[in-house]
Structure 1
Amino acid sequence: MDIIPELAWAVGKVIREAREASGMTQGQLAGFSGLSESYISLLEHGHKKLTVNGLVQIGRVLHVTPAELMRRIDVEMESGPQPSTKKVGRPRKQDKTDE
């Protein structure tokens, strides 16, 4: 079976967007779904594979059917990874140069 490289990225993006739309933190989603917070984090970052069980549990908590989550994942896979618009980390110090 071939591995689809963009699948993990698409799964993470869809789950993160659905979670944020519901106003939940990763910890809250984990607690309500019975999954670990580290599993949710790894899913959202594309470092863990989503199981069918996980898909159903997450969908129940977010009030989204597994079929709808899969549809969203499919749409994301078609569009491909997009550059992040979020600025992460702390800003770099500006070098002070004498003119």
Structure 2
Amino acid sequence: MKLYPHLAKAIANTLESIRNEKMMSKSSLADFADIERCYLRDIEKGNRKPTVNTIFCLCEALQIDPVAFFKMVVKEIERLKN
């Protein structure tokens, strides 16, 4: 399986950016997405890769389309490569 070395950081940066734009705290996002706050913290630090189900829960809580989220992640991967 191919590894994407910038994936965790790209997800982290994208998620944190959207959360800050929506002016949500980590606690409120974790509550709305029904995930543990420490899990969200680890995702935003780039220490954990969330499952697709978790991404969908986070997108729902942030009121963003998952496809739009993944497009932003792809752009962030490209930015991190350079």
Deviations along 1:46-82, one digit per CA (max 9) or x if unpaired, are 0001211011100011110110110000000011168
- Residues 1-56 of structure 1 deviation map (CA, whole Å, 9 limit, x = unaligned): 12211000000000000111111111000011101101111001100012110111
**Max Rg structure:** 1
Q: Secondary structure in 2 aligned to 1:80?
A: helix
State TM-score, norm by structure 1: 0.79
1:81–1:28 Cα change, 3 Å: farther
Over the aligned positions, Cα root-mean-square deviation in angstroms equals 1.3
Divergent runs of 4+, >6 A:
none
Work out which structure has the larger RCO, using CA pairs closer than 8 Å and 6 or more positions apart in sequence. Answer: 2
1-structure distance, mates of 2:7, 2:45: 12
Task: Report % sequence identity.
Answer: 26
The number of equivalent residue pairs is 82
TM-score by length of 2: 0.95
For residues 57 and 67 of structure 1, the distance between their equivalents in structure 2, rounded to whole angstroms, comes to 13
> When you count helix as a share of all residues, which structure comes out higher?
2
